């Protein structure tokens, strides 16, 4: 017997978009008005823009994992697991819980905010040998891996092996890749002083991108400033270049160079979560095609936002423009979509999402940064103050703010201990292991599964 009388709102994903949405629903809806449920594989909201600082050891992993259970006021029911398919016709979300059970969750309204995964291409060896920078586990793994290369190079008597372990390749000249290369270079530069047997001149970081510019969204002048800062630090930047082949002990660039290395970090863009493909609905370059009010056309109770959805960029006013996949948009869309869900539930009109981009901040570690808040170009300490101030204020809880600030102060005063934790050693560490990209059903499998479950009831 169905005892549920209140409308059921299901939010998928506890990232920037999902958490903002849930918190607003909790605030604006009375408990009698609707049941709110959140599906999330992790018990935290990850503050992704600070991942490179976790990888480089400036911040501890816990400090950017913002608790979903911090307050007694949070009343949303949490299902610990990942959605692996959505049947729009039956209004059922299929979930694999963290203990491997498959459960069906019926809904009246669904908000899809599962974010994105690392975008890969059909490059031989890439998915087997590259590491990403998209999850907390990946950032912690990369940190351990980089420190282990110093440890192994230090203990090796083989010159070629030592040289290979001390070369590092980062692919992707967007803000994620640039910050990752910049922060990790600072890590190895500082760490090598504790390894008297290693010649610091052997450490070489490569940052490559197929595009002709680093971070084109910064504009020419700031992009060149970022490039100059990285160049001064000895990071070798190659533009118009990608990877032709990746192996366990070397990477081949498209310009023919073969780099002996054990470290390939791949940050060349993102693609919507594979969950979106399970809907069998229209997409724009993989992101779910939604209207400006973030609704799926033809499905009144279905909403999507953040990295997973192609939300029209009304502020740009250009035909076909969609909001870029940034935390800035995801957070604001999260609040806005909550208002639209409530409007739909109450039979009121929905409103379009309109937000003018506030700019970009890029933390290159230490005093190095470039920022463009509201179109103003900043470099060095002022840019760093804006970058850190922006991230700090965007952290959701006071405890998370305190942890991050304490970590920053401690790191500035006492530096890094270069501890390799070993938590993830000898575990599979490919992109799909970290990002669970092969856990999803096909649209046909979703239908067959839901049909089967309905027949049993
Ligand atoms: C290294 C890095 C640096 C960045 N720097 C910046 C920056 O400086 N400024 C900026 O604006 N943006 C930045 N971004 C981009 C920004 O982080 C994303 O655009 C933003 O996180 C998107 O928000 P979202 O809510 O759509 O997805 P996310 O924040 O990724 O959240 C998605 C959530 O859904 C969960 N999930 C995934 N699949 C499922 C599933 N099947 N079922 C249930 N839950 C699921 C995930 O675990 C996650 O919690 C950066 C990204 C990276 C990787």
Query: CA-CA distance, 419 to 310, in Å (whole number)?
Result: 41
List per-residue pLDDT tens for the chain, 457 residues long.
445 589 999 999 999 999 999 999 999 999 999 999 999 999 999 999 999 999 999 999 999 999 999 988 899 999 999 999 999 999 999 999 999 999 999 999 999 999 999 999 999 999 999 999 999 999 999 999 999 999 999 999 999 999 999 999 999 999 999 999 999 999 999 999 999 999 999 999 999 999 999 998 888 999 999 999 999 999 999 999 999 999 999 999 999 999 999 999 999 999 999 999 999 999 999 999 999 999 999 999 999 999 999 999 999 988 899 999 999 999 999 999 999 999 999 999 999 999 998 989 999 999 999 999 999 999 999 999 999 999 999 999 999 999 999 999 999 999 999 999 998 888 888 999 999 999 999 999 999 999 988 777 7
- Gap from CA of 135 to ligand 1 centroid (Å): 9
Tokens, residue 274: 């594979």
Ligand 1 neighbours, Cβ below 6 Å, are 12-18, 39-42, 46, 48-49, 51-52, 82-83, 113-115, 133-134, 175-176, 273, 275, 306-308, 325-328, 330, 361
Please give the CATH topology (third level) of the domain spanning 8-47+65-118+271-357+434-456. FAD/NAD(P)-binding domain (3.50.50)
CA nearest 276: which of 443, 106, 416, 397? 443
Question: Of all protein residues, whose CA lies closest to atom 8 belonging to ligand 1?
Answer: 49
Q: Which ligand 1 atom is the nearest neighbour of the CA of 436?
A: 38
Confidence (pLDDT) at 1: 42
pTM of the shown model: 0.96
Concatenate the DSSP letters of all residues of 314-338 into one string.
TTT--TT-B--S-HHHHHHHHHHHH
The C-alpha angle with vertex 437 and arms to 441 and 217, in degrees rounded to 5, equals 125
Residue among 114, 335, 432 to mutate when testing ligand 1 (max atoms within 8 A of CB):
114
* Extents of the domains making up the chain: 8-47+65-118+271-357+434-456, 126-268+359-428
Q: Which ligand 1 atom is the nearest neighbour of the CA of 19?
A: 25
- Gap from CA of 116 to ligand 1 centroid (Å): 6
Query: CA-CA distance, 441 to 104, in Å (whole number)?
Result: 13
CA 450 vs. chain centroid, Å, equals 30
Question: Of all protein residues, whose CA lies closest to atom 6 belonging to ligand 1?
Answer: 49
- Gap from CA of 87 to ligand 1 centroid (Å): 24
H or E stretch covering 339? helix 327-345
Query: CA-CA distance, 360 to 223, in Å (whole number)?
Result: 12
The residues with which 85 forms a beta bridge, in sequence order, are 94
Q: Do domains 8-47+65-118+271-357+434-456 and 126-268+359-428 have the same CATH topology?
A: yes
The domain 126-268+359-428: what is its CATH number? Answer: 3.50.50.100
Query: CA-CA distance, 184 to 365, in Å (whole number)?
Result: 9
- Gap from CA of 342 to ligand 1 centroid (Å): 24
Query: CA-CA distance, 139 to 262, in Å (whole number)?
Result: 16
Q: Residue 366: left if φ>0, alpha if ψ -120 to 50, beta else—which one?
A: left
């Amino acid at each position: 017997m169905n005892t549920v009388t209140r409308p059921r709102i299901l939010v998928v994903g506890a990232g920037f978009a999902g958490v903002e949405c849930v918190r607003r629903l909790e605030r604006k809806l009375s408990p009698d008005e609707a049941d709110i449920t959140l599906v999330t594989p992790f018990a935290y909201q990850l503050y992704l823009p600070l991942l490179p600082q976790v990888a480089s050891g400036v911040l501890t992993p816990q400090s950017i994992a913002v608790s979903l259970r911090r307050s007694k006021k949070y009343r949303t029911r949490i299902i610990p697991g990942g959605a692996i398919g959505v049947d729009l016709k039956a209004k059922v979300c299929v979930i694999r819980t963290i203990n491997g059970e498959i459960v069906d969750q019926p809904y009246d309204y669904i908000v899809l905010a599962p974010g994105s995964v690392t975008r890969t291409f059909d490059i031989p060896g890439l998915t087997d040998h590259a590491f990403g920078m998209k999850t907390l586990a990946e950032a912690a793994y990369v940190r351990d891996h980089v420190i282990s290369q110093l440890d192994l190079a230090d203990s090796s008597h083989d010159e070629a092996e030592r040289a290979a372990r001390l070369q590092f390749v980062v692919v992707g000249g967007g803000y994620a890749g640039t910050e990752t290369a910049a922060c990790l270079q600072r890590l190895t530069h500082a760490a090598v002083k504790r390894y008297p047997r290693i010649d610091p001149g052997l450490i070489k970081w490569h940052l490559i991108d197929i595009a002709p510019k680093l971070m084109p969204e910064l504009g020419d002048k700031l992009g060149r400033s970022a490039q100059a800062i990285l160049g001064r630090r000895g990071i070798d930047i190659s533009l118009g270049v990608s990877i032709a082949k990746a192996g366990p002990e070397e990477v081949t660039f498209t310009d023919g160079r073969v780099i002996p290395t054990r470290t390939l970090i791949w940050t060349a863009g993102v693609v919507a979560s594979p969950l979106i493909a399970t809907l069998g609905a229209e997409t724009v370059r993989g992101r779910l095609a939604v209207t400006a009010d973030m609704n799926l056309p033809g499905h009144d109770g279905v909403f999507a936002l953040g990295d997973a959805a192609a939300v029209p960029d009304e502020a740009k006013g250009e035909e076909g423009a969609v909001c870029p996949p940034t935390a800035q948009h995801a957070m604001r869309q999260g609040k806005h979509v909550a208002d639209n869900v409530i409007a739909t539930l109450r039979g009121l009109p929905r409103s379009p999402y309109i937000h003018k981009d506030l700019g970009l901040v890029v933390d290159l570690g230490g005093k190095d940064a470039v920022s463009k808040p509201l179109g103003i170009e900043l470099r060095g300490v002022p840019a760093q103050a804006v970058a850190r101030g922006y991230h700090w204020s965007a952290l959701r809880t006071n405890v998370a703010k305190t942890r991050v600030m304490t970590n920053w102060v401690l790191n500035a005063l006492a530096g890094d201990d270069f501890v390799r934790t070993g938590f993830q050693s000898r575990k599979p560490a490919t992109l799909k292991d970290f990002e669970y990209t092969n856990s999803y059903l096909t649209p046909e499998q979703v239908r067959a599964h839901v049909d089967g479950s309905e027949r049993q009831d």
